[in-house]
Amino acid sequence: MRNDDESGFVIRTITAPDGLRLSARDYGGDSPASSLPPIVCLPGLTRNSRDFHELALLLSRDPVAPRRVITLDARGRGLSAWDDDKSHYNLAVEAQDVLATCAALNIPKAVFIGTSRGGLVLHLLAAGHPDILRAVILNDIGPVLEKEGLVDIRDYLNRNRKPANWDDAVEILRENHGRAFTALTDDDWRDMAQAIYTLKDGNVVADFDPAIAVQMKSLDFETPLPDLWPQFEAFQNIPLMVIRGENSKLLTTASLEEMARRHPGMTAKIAIGQGHAPILHLGEIPAAIRRFLATI
């Protein structure tokens, strides 16, 4: 069950290069300095810092090797401001936002965890700013995006059904993701709802700018999608872990195997009973992340 979602962190406000207000949670940032590299977590397309809350508590309060953990609300998500220029919801701008956040929080180098779109941002940072990456964990994302997975994301983001209350929000998530996330308990589904939705004017609403979902409608799935293999090659000298949801449609087993072939030192972990994208504080995933971090 989700811990108190209002404790264990400090909210940091950062100004993006174009002046937009960004928000991040800082777990352990006010504690005595650790010699271990901090961890910066980047969420998926329409997700936010709350996705990482349980994992951030585990890592920042680790009895042996506690680390500072930053979980970012990308522009247009969570507590970060919505952008009036909707064209700014793109990977290049969001990569610059990450760099600005790290500079503002005095983080010259970090371990980065990128879920889905957050992992795509890390591909760009690896290609353009590899010195900031001490190590990388990609959560159900790689250089090849499968059409079937993208169509699923487009369709469930643009369904018209809105939750009437928190129970309804849970039911909507079960309808959209139940077949892929067989490992989740009732409490896990409610935790997911609390991470994705928020209360606004007394209504339960998705916690992101609707323009981000609308962008998905414009994708042309009849045209072959470009891959990011050239950017992936930039991870060669960076410790890399990749987590794949057992039932993921976005990252295939074949892509995972090719990633491992091109990065022989890569650590791979399957999130059993989960789809896109795995919840990182469930099952064996936290222990696997800790083992990987112990090598950094």
Confirm whether 198 is domain-assigned: no
For 9-37, letters b (16+ CB in 10 Å) and e give: beebebebeeebebbbbbbbbeeeeeebb
Confirm whether 87 is domain-assigned: yes
Confirm whether 266 is domain-assigned: yes
User: What pLDDT does 222 receive?
Assistant: 79
Give the C-alpha separation, 171 to 190, whole Å. Answer: 9
Instruction: Look up residue 61 and give its two tokens.
Output: 């309060």
Average pLDDT over residues 18-31: 91
Say what the pTM is. 0.95
Confirm whether 174 is domain-assigned: no
User: What pLDDT does 7 receive?
Assistant: 82
Average pLDDT over residues 188-199: 96
The total domain count for the chain is: 1
User: What pLDDT does 229 receive?
Assistant: 97
Confirm whether 93 is domain-assigned: yes
Confirm whether 151 is domain-assigned: no
Confirm whether 255 is domain-assigned: yes
pLDDT tier at 1, thresholds 50, 70, 90: very low
Average pLDDT over residues 252-267: 97
Average pLDDT over residues 285-290: 98
Q: Distance of CA 76 to CAs 41, 82, 116, 206, 269, Å?
A: 16, 4, 16, 11, 30
User: What pLDDT does 200 receive?
Assistant: 93
Average pLDDT over residues 280-294: 97
Confirm whether 25 is domain-assigned: yes
pLDDT tier at 216, thresholds 50, 70, 90: confident
For the ranges 20-24, 28-32, 61-65, 131-135, the lowest mean pLDDT is seen at 28-32
When comparing pLDDT for 18 and 214, which is higher? Answer: 18
Average pLDDT over residues 66-83: 97
Q: What angle do CA 106, 286, 196 make, to 5 degrees?
A: 75
Quick: pLDDT tens for 269-282. Answer: 999 999 999 999 99
Quick: pLDDT tens for 142-191. Answer: 999 999 899 899 888 888 788 999 999 999 999 999 999 999 999 999 99
Mean pLDDT of the chain: 94
Q: Which domain holds residue 104?
A: 10-146+226-293
Average pLDDT over residues 203-222: 89
Q: What is the DSSP letter of 210?
A: H
CATH of the domain at 278: 3.40.50.1820
